[in-house]
Homo-oligomer: A and B are copies of this chain.
Amino acid sequence: MITLDLTLPDTRYPIHIGRGLLDQVELLLPHLPIPKVAIVTNTVVAPLYLVRLQKKLAEHDVEVTPIILPDGEDHKTPGNTESHFRRTAAWSLRTKNYADCPRGGVIGDMTGFAAACYQRGAPFIQIPTTLLAQVDSSVGGKTAINHPLGKNMIGAFYQPKVVIADTELLATLPTRELSAGLAEVIKYGLLGDASFLSWLEEHMEALLAQDPDALQYAIRRSCEMKANIVQQDEKESGIRALLNLGHTFGHAIETGLGYGAWLHGEAVAAGMVLAAAASAAMGWITADDVLRVETLISRAGLPIKSPDLGVAQWLELMGHDKKVESGTIRYVLLKALGHAIIQPGLPKSVMTKLLTGRHIIATEQSARQS
């Protein structure tokens, strides 16, 4: 097991990464001052891990209230958040800890937000069960739910008490979801570490085959980079925005196609290709660099072409993204592979070419099948 520490002005928490951590309840117990916890999970994860965790906790007299929500991004709604509140309020107050076993970021984002708001802040614990959640969404305290007008529009910065990333849980992960998680892993290489990018090129097959050492290193390096950035800029007033590489385009895809049509990681993957293409159009990286990005993303089993939303809808959807400031869309682009920067606005000609060019495919072909 590796433990990273994330230190912020008013909190500090460990991120444990390793095999078989779900059964090591001693990692959880210090964060449950009161032996009552609501475990929030979804219909996919509950049959796999809920009873196992519940039994382990029962051995230490921890009373568990399971809250099982439907699976998928389209369920990250105010209604399901309200369902947290109702079910939590129904037991007892201040006797309140939240833990979640998210499959992907959905349950984690929503539970984090519910925990942030419930009585102005209930302690919560992240036990991510997908690669995407382990490398990205469970770390750093971004919580949110979706709104018809934009993804993650309603949310809070709210940090967990501990993150427990058990790589063994990924064994039951469908290939498509493993790939979706690799999109965020590739993101870290692209945005800030060229040597990690090369490492990924060398180990992509090992990662897809779930080689334990390769997985642990990829998760560790991703969490290290995320922790490092979050420590410098918790509330995203500056460099934290770099973590949004591929996300401005990606969120537009997710909102444009309807939440759940593409997985978040898939949308980010295609979005990173667009960001790379835009960076090439700006003359910062070469066509070969773009090809290198496409090749790695493609090898990870991810889409490299975005759906054809039409230029007008693309711009409209990106204009609704949170990363817009004073009406100018702030793109995260690449000055080089392994070096992302924030670019306020892009020439209209570049955007039009990009959003009608070879990185776009007709919408009817773009709905991905699992």
Contact = CB atoms under 8 A, between A and B. Distances in A.
A65 to B, nearest CB: 15
A147 interface: yes
A209 interface: no
Interface of A: 9-10, 34, 78, 82, 85-86, 89-90, 92-95, 113, 116-121, 142, 144, 147, 149-150, 152-157, 235-236, 319-327
A322 B118 CA distance: 10
Contacts of A155: 117, 119-120
A119 B89 CA distance: 26
25 contacts: A9-B9, A34-B326, A78-B78, A86-B149, A89-B147, A89-B149, A89-B150, A89-B153, A89-B320, A90-B149, A92-B319, A93-B150, A93-B322, A95-B327, A113-B117, A117-B117, A118-B153, A119-B322, A120-B152, A120-B155, A120-B157, A120-B235, A120-B322, A121-B235, A156-B156
Chain A interface mostly = mixed
Contacts of A322: 93-94, 119-120
B9 A94 contact: no
Kindly name the residue among A85, A144, A152, A157 whose own CB sees the greatest number of chain B CB atoms within 10 A.
A85
B321 A93 contact: yes
A236 B188 CA distance: 37
Nearest to A321: B93
Contacts of A236: 120
Contact of A147 (B85, B144, B156): B85
A116 B117 CA distance: 10
Q: 4 tightest CB-CB pairs across the interface, nearest first?
A: A89-B149, A94-B325, A120-B155, A119-B322
Number of copies: 2
A85 B154 contact: yes
A16 to B, nearest CB: 25
A31 to B, nearest CB: 16
A78 B9 CA distance: 31
A121 B236 CA distance: 11
Given A94-B326, A320-B93, A322-B94, A119 B9 contact: no
Contacts of A94: 322-327
A165 B89 CA distance: 35
Contact of A93 (B90, B113, B324): B324
Contacts of A10: 9-10
A95 B147 contact: no
B117 A327 contact: no
Contact of A156 (B116, B320, B321): B116
Contacts of A319: 92-93
Nearest to A90: B149
